[in-house]
Amino acid sequence: MKLFVQGLAILALLIANASATQSGIFAANGVELEVYQSGEDIIYGEPMFILGERS
């Protein structure tokens, strides 16, 4: 029974992770993206402090 509950918990985490990735809210490296809106366009991008570290 304990193994069954652990399996269900892992499955729930996988489903939650897949739905978050599919919605485009998270980058492939797990960084949450910020949402910018310019007129009618919605743009997703990494937070500026992360972009600053790359340069």
Better-predicted residue by pLDDT, 6 or 22? 6
- Taking the CA atoms of 8, 9, 13 and 16 in sequence, report the sign of the dihedral they define: positive
Instruction: Determine the structural domain holding residue 41 and report its residue range.
Output: 2-54
Residue 38 confidence (pLDDT): 63
pLDDT of 7 > 80? The answer is yes
- The residue behind tokens 């009618």 is 40
1 — pLDDT class (breaks 50, 70, 90): confident
pLDDT at 16: 72
Q: Is the pLDDT of residue 3 over 80?
A: yes
Residue 10 has a pLDDT of 87
Domain count, the chain: 1
Helix, strand, or coil here: 52? helix
Q: What is the pTM of this model?
A: 0.38
